[in-house]
Amino acid sequence: VVDMTNFYTQYKSIEPYLQRKTPKEPGQNEYFQSVEDRKKLDGLYECVLCACCSTSCPSYWWHPDKYLGPAVLMQAYRWIVDSRDEYTDERLDFISEDMKLDDCQNIGMCTVTCPKGLNPQQSLQTLIAMVKDLRLRRATEEAL
């Protein structure tokens, strides 16, 4: 039996659910999104959290207590790019702390080992770029 306690604790830490700052309008039952925005979630929501990608990741072997690993980070990305979620910057702030994201070495074993054929490496590369953009935006705002 595999002890997945650390993995699921890390998964829970990304708050994997829709978060909104604006309440629903009276009578509104759903948050709609465009077909284009919905397509951004393809290849992300299909993850079954088997953790094959995380267990094949050398960065996760070396720092499982600090680095979130490809599976959890891909799920964080899933919520960050969801057009209905309004906590993008807060989510990026969380994953940019410590070594939660920064330890990714872009080796790519995560994508090779995914039994569903998903691409966690691409999600991580995009997340790294998004965090970099957020830091640049904040530095620019502070300079003004």
User: Over the stretch 50-76, which tens digit does the pLDDT of each residue have?
Assistant: 999 999 999 999 999 999 999 999 999
Q: Is the pLDDT of residue 144 over 90?
A: no
Residue 27 is predicted with a pLDDT of: 93
Angstrom distances, CA of residue 108 to CA of 9, 54, 127: 24, 11, 15
Q: How confident is the model at residue 137 (pLDDT cuts 50, 70, 90)?
A: very high
- The pTM is what? 0.93
d(CA 30, CA 32): 6
pLDDT of residue 26: 93
Compute the distance between CA of residue 49 and CA of residue 72 in angstroms, rounded to an integer: 8
End-to-end alpha carbon distance in the chain = 55
* CA atoms of 17 and 65, how far apart (whole Å): 23
| CA pseudo-torsion sign 29, 23, 86, 12 | negative
User: Given this model, what pLDDT does residue 89 score?
Assistant: 96
